[in-house]
Structure 1
Amino acid sequence: MNRGRLLLVLAAICLLSGCTEPRTAIDGGPPDGAAPGRKVEQAGEMDAVVDKGNGQVLPLPAAPAEARRFSMKTTAGAAPQTATAEMVSPIPPPTNSESYNPGRENGFVAVGNDPLSTFSIDVDTASYSNIRRFIEQGSLPPAGSVRIEEMINYFDYEYPQPEKGPFSLTLEGGPCPWQSRHRLVRIGLQAKDIDKKDLPPSNLVFLVDVSGSMNDPDKLPLLKRAMALLVEQLDGRDRVAIVAYAGSERVVLPPTAGSDRKTLLTAIDTLESGGSTHASQGIVTAYRLARQSFMPGGNNRVILASDGDFNVGVTSRGELEKLIERERQSGVFLTLLGFGEGNYHDDTMEILADRGNGNYAYIDSLLEAKKVLVKEMGQTMFALAGDVKVQVEFNPAQVAAYRLIGYENRAMADEEFNDDTKDAGEIGVGHRVTALYEVVPAGVKPPVTVDPLRYRQTAKPAGPSDELLTVKVRYKPLQQAASTMIERSLGAEGRELNQASDDFRFAAAVAAFGMRLGDSAYLNGYAYGDILELARGARGEDREGWRAEFVGLVEASELLEQTAAKHGAADGGK
């Protein structure tokens, strides 16, 4: 997020709310820890693509008027506004027809009733960048857009590379910032990193939504520039095809060598929007092309880019699930790239990613496209292992109750952990996955409303009594039907919060922010100021400036909430 833009947001909100108290300054310069000159470099480094074959400089497809939205957006057709506080409103525009799954929150589970917690990993990051988009435009996000695990997993954490096998498993415990009598446990998975030159060849099929709803600058024009960024990363071993769909689908480009950049960029530049959205037929065609060019041992993937507004053909959620589940049997993976606002259908995009052996990112700017498709290309595009599941067993001698923070739509039955026929999430090369548990120590009254089971015999703890929990991770290496398991235990720790790692404290701050946005029942009065203090003290090196950006988003959200409260009071609570 651009810090200059945050300054505009904060200043306008302050004007609207009449706030005069001093705030932490957010200037237009580089954030602490960010590389000097970062914004200048990023603003100019994507104006053209060089064809390495002949040295010819090829222009990128036409750029949107703003690669990043630096000025406040108004609803379509609104009269121009002067630079006053009226430019910012905490109320979403009335034309908004975006759709999200209902927001949910995991509750506490008594260990005496169920000592096991099982879930599939989630490597999506769409929720965080989508939330950022709302806040940048002067609105708090809808509760359904908040998925805390995706917010946490947007950021990098310093987990060790695996010494053997595809993963390392890191466990860390410490005090829970928002509930002093509780503990917080961080589980971290680090997938093996592979040098770009050693990655397998790619068979990619872009499935591009060119319907009329994709005409806005932050949709198809931005998508075309994002596609050009990815094309620059390919070589002669790779194959790229493009399928476009609106009222019907068409093959824009048959499988073409990744080194033929001029042909690829020309095909991208021809994409234009218009018509209705017949996504289901486009999905069938894209997977058919991917199967025809299938590379054994390679990276076979469909990249679906859309606003999720499917209105022709198969449009029901149930039928879309069946379609994508059927297509995933081919061994072709799926990446979802979401674009746009106003009519964005996050619920549809999330379903496709969950059911299609896929991952899901929301692209709100060219910088986000660079993060997802260039800097994190291995994570986004190259699967390392499939059906990755996590099961945590809590020691009843140490733990009275627990709750998993986030992953509400990734919960699995305990018996599914050892069932290799049950689908779970995929993890890419170099991916980091983090999960947090809030733990109620034994002897502390848990906020659980279910009475202990009357007829269940309490088992004596197995193993050392000072173990807090044991984590098991089960996964399938690519092209293998049988799973492999790793496990590790964490002892009960008594250290203070300031003794925990920067990563632990920052992940906790992100979780608390998500809980605040989602109106959590478990924050216990933990305020924006507390979140800011925790995050500022845990920024660490922050080479890319993403943690500094997060601090700015929390500040802006606090002001938006204050402004909304003042408006509500002025309106008599109506």
Structure 2
Amino acid sequence: MKRFIVSFYVIIIVMWMFSCETRQGSATLELSRDSAELEEQQTPSNTEEYDAITENKFQDALKNPLSTFSIDVDAASYSNVRRFINNGQRPPKDAVRIEEMINYFDYDYDQPKGDDPFAVITEISTAPWNAKHKLVHIGLQGKKIATDNLPPSNLVFLIDVSGSMDEPNKLPLLKTSFKMLVEQLREEDHVAIVVYAGAAGLVLEPTSGANKKAIIEALDDLEAGGSTAGGAGIQLAYDIAKKHFKAGGNNRVILATDGDFNIGESSNASMELLIEEKRKNGVFLTVLGFGMGNYKDSKMETLSDKGNGNYAYIDNITEARKVLVNEFGGTLFTIAKDVKLQVEFNPAKVKAYRLIGYENRMLKSEDFNNDKEDAGELGSGHTVTALYEIIPVGVESEFYKIDDLKYQTTQVNPSANTSIELLTIKLRYKKPDEDVSKLIVHPLVDDNIPLANTTDNFRWSASVASFGMLLRESEYVNDFAYGKVIQMAQGAKGDDTEGHRIEFINMVKAFGSTASADGH
């Protein structure tokens, strides 16, 4: 009996100990869950958005002789890529738009001499990353208009003051940036300020640029909080711009935001329709992006593309000075709108071609002569650069192999065989206040200039393009490593008075060493 009683108590003690361990395990599990949830709440998730980019492939010059695209003067991708790299991160592939990286930099092009608002500059040599291929460099130089001769401005600052802007690199940087812009304004220029958060409102009636104190005080009073009624803000800003429209002047809405619209007209499609409708009133759009983590690049690019405007990403005060002070005229004053390029390749000399970048700026062949088709805008003093990689006739390339057609052939015009022209560039543009385009035609002849004898313009654009191709892990870049990018860039740096080119070289050095260590 005693043995039974002892056994009974032993069982009771064991069950009690097991119960304690189970409760302790549950408590530990709950604590773990609570810690994980707290950590998740404290660590902001990355909800940045970028439109997908599919790299342009080689096209057959015989079967597809026309390449048509809209110009792109935006430079947002470069400063955004720089932000990622400076933070020790590899930028997402879709954040890398090679044409915007190339066009971030100034080029030493001659000013236009004729009646057209821009000059066309061309050059051709060997593609640095593939000795069997050629590289065609096409540059546009916008006519630089002195600030005193610029038309009066009717500007509406449209500023996002929602809760998501309450970070040091958002609203505070935005205020500082706009103050720099205000310092550039003249007495004949006028500024209104519209803000939006849970709702949109006018915080400053149109005010002369001579009254800088009032404009700056209105900026200083802005505080962030609430949700993001972006659609209502855009509607109100355009209404104000239209009400105070200056005939023959510069009428423009300047939108500053992280792009995180979440109330009202928030979808890209809705915003696109709204902006397309508003641009018919002759009001242009500049989009300035700020911040990180929830940055909506895809939305910002859509707005600027459809609003007859341009788009810049401001990651620091130096970039603000570049965009709003050094490039004041190019950012805010349009000299040509709906600028399109169409290149026709001579199939007797060109086997295949591909446009480097501009993937989301491609147009149909028939769009070139359609004046209703929207395209890019060129500002005072702005430069635009485009590169084509070419496979010459008779060259075998691993990147382009296609069988002859079985049931049909395409005949080459006999004159093509005797022509010295490699291709012909056609451009169409409209004056800012007109709706009928003008045509410019510019043929290109291959003078067989060695790469070492090309201009700094050519080699610099090629070095930036090759870095972009490396970031995108392009199949076409071959074994052209970061060291070769640096070497070519150093030899093409030129005067670099603002230091942007040496900054690029140092960035490639830093990223290249990290990428090599990681095996990329």
Q: What SS does the corresponding residue of 1:241 show, helix, strand or coil?
A: strand
- Match of 2:113? 163
Per the TM alignment, residue 494 of structure 1 is displaced from its structure 2 partner at its CA by: 1.5
Secondary structure in 1 matching 2:293 = coil
Residues 197-346 of structure 1 mapped to structure 2, 5 A cutoff: 197-346=148-297
Match for residue 114 of structure 1 among 41, 64, 77: 64
Conserved in 2, the CA contact under 8 Å of 1:140 and 1:560?
A: no
Aligned to 1:532: 486
Structure 1 residue runs of 5 or longer lacking an equivalent are: 1-76, 79-92, 567-574
Partner of 1:46: none
After TM superposition, give the deviation of residue 461 of structure 1 in Å: 5.2
Among 113, 126, 131, which residue is 1:175 paired with? Answer: 126
Which among 402, 407, 410 is matched to residue 457 of structure 1? 410
Aligned residue type for 1:101:
D
Q: Against the structure 1 CA distance between its residues 323 and 186, is the aligned structure 2 distance closer, same or farther, given a 3 Å change threshold?
A: same
Distance, in Å, in 1 between the alignment partners of 2:383 and 2:415 is 31
Moved more, 451-460 or 495-504: 451-460
1:10-159, aligned counterparts within 5 Å?
Answer: 95-159=45-109
Query: 2:369 aligns to what SS in structure 1?
Result: coil
Secondary structure (helix, strand or coil) at the match of 1:541 reads coil
Is the Cα contact below 8 Å between 1:103 and 1:518 reproduced in 2? no
Given that 1:398 and 1:492 are in contact with CA atoms closer than 8 Å, whether structure 2 keeps it comes out as: no
Code of the aligned partner of 1:193: K
Aligned partner of residue 163 in structure 1, secondary structure: coil
Q: Give the C-alpha shift of residue 455 in structure 1.
A: 2.4
Q: Summarize deviations over 1:71-92 as a string: whole Å, max 9, x none.
A: xxxxxx99xxxxxxxxxxxxxx
Q: Distance in 2 between matches of 1:425 and 1:221?
A: 31
**Alignment CA distance shift 1:462-1:375 (3 Å):** farther
How far 1:94 sits from its partner (Å)? 7.1
Q: Secondary structure at the match of 2:427?
A: strand
Cα separation, 2, equivalents of 1:297 and 1:544 = 33
Residue 171 of structure 1 deviates from its aligned partner by: 0.5
In 1, distance between residues paired with 2:308 and 2:233? 18
Aligned pair partner of 1:396 in 347, 352, 369 = 347
Q: Any runs of at least 4 consecutive aligned residues in structure 1 with deviations exceeding 6 A, and if so which?
A: none
Query: Is 1:370 equivalent to 2:321 in the alignment?
Result: yes
Deviations 1:333-354 (A, max 9, x none): 0000000011111011011111
> What is the TM-score of this pair, normalised by structure 2?
0.89
Q: Determine the structure 1 residue equivalent to 2:453.
A: 499
- The amino acid that maps onto 2:400 is V
| 1:191 corresponds to 2:142 | yes
- 2:437 corresponds to which of 483, 487, 490: 483
Letter of the structure 1 residue corresponding to residue 318 of structure 2: L
Q: How many angstroms apart in 1 are the aligned matches of 2:305 and 2:178?
A: 23
Q: Distance in 1 between matches of 2:76 and 2:55?
A: 18
| Amino-acid identity (%) | 54
Q: Alignment partner for residue 400 of structure 2, among 448, 455, 474?
A: 448
Contact 1:112 1:452 in 2 (8 A): no
Q: Structure 2: where are the runs of 5+ without partners? A: 1-37
Provide Cα deviations, 1:536-568, integer angstroms capped at 9, x if missing partner: 1111111111110110111111122134339xx
Quote the Cα distance in structure 1 between the aligned partners of 2:124 and 2:190: 45
The answer (yes or no) to whether the contact 1:476–1:483 under 8 Å persists in 2 is yes
Larger radius of gyration: 2
SS at match of 1:282: helix
1:157 CA displacement: 0.6
Aligned to 1:435: 386
Distance in 2 (alpha carbons) for counterparts of 1:378 and 1:137: 31
For 2:180 and 2:277, the matched residues in 1 are separated by 31
Name the CA distance, whole Å, in 2 between partners of 1:325 and 1:564: 45
Partners of 2:255 and 2:516 in 1: how far apart? 38
C-alpha distance in 1 between matches for 2:270 and 2:163? 23
**Residues matched between the structures, number:** 476
The whole-number CA distance in structure 2 between the counterparts of 1:137 and 1:369 is: 19
Give the secondary structure class of the aligned counterpart of 2:108.
coil
- TM-score (normalizing by structure 1): 0.81
Query: 2:179, 2:446 → 1: CA distance?
Result: 50
Please tell me whether the aligned partners of residues 472 and 485 of structure 1 are also in contact (alpha carbons under 8 angstroms). yes
Question: Alignment partner of 1:522: what SS?
Answer: helix
Deviation per CA, 1:8-48, whole angstroms, max 9, x where unpaired? xxxxxxxxxxxxxxxxxxxxxxxxxxxxxxxxxxxxxxxxx
CA drift of 1:462 comes to 4.0
Asked whether 1:514 is paired with 2:468, we answer yes
Distance in structure 2 (CA, Å) of the matches to 1:301 and 1:271 = 21
Given that 1:210 and 1:244 are in contact with CA atoms closer than 8 Å, whether structure 2 keeps it comes out as: yes
SS of corresponding position for 2:241: helix
1:545 corresponds to 2:496: no
Distance between the aligned counterparts of 1:184 and 1:493, measured in 2? 12
Report the equivalent of 1:45.
Answer: none
Indicate if the aligned counterparts of 1:396 and 1:461 stay in contact, CA closer than 8 A. no
